[in-house]
Amino acid sequence: MATFSIGQIASRAELNSSTIRYYESIGLMPEPARINGQRRYSEDVLDRIRFIKTAQAAGFSIPEITVLLEGFEPHISPSDRWKELAKEKCEELEEKKKQLDNMLQVLENGLKCKCLTWSECFVKMNSDGTCC
């Protein structure tokens, strides 16, 4: 089986070599074989990197990705792992979306506000949080 240097794998994965070393240091990727002290990777490591990148793009943190990769019993399929954590992530993102929507509303209302003091603004504030 052909092996590749860290630079070759990094190039193919569109990452920096330092990112791959970081993933190794935190356990997201297994320690590679070494030939003459140089890291050597098989091509299948690209699948793991693609998975890590996909999970990050979906909003998963490094600890959550670690759980996806290693935190389940071996008999639990990757798709079942993904479903379980994806459901939790969707709920988390829905809550964040509500918070962002509220923040946007406050900012939009603030752009319309003509009050000269905070006290005046609070007195005029409607029950829905809008002013003026």
Instruction: Report the pLDDT value the prediction gives residue 73, as an integer from 0 to 100.
Output: 77
- Give me the pLDDT at residue 109, please: 79
pLDDT for 125: 72
Closest CA to 129 of 97, 101, 96: 101
Instruction: Summarize pLDDT for 75-113 with one digit per residue, the tens.
Output: 888 788 788 888 888 898 899 999 999 889 878 877 888
Distances in Å between the Cα of 96 and the Cα atoms of 1, 64, 104 are: 46, 17, 12
Tell me how far apart the alpha carbons of residues 122 and 80 are, in angstroms, rounded to a whole number.
Answer: 50
Give the closest residue to 46 by CA, choosing from 108, 110, 2, 96: 2
Residues 43 and 8: their CA atoms lie apart, in Å, by: 10
At 49 the pLDDT is 96
Cα gap 52→23, rounded to integer Å: 9
- Both structure tokens of 66: 């670690």
Provide the residue type at 12 as one letter: R
- What residue ranges of the chain have pLDDT lower than 70? 126-132
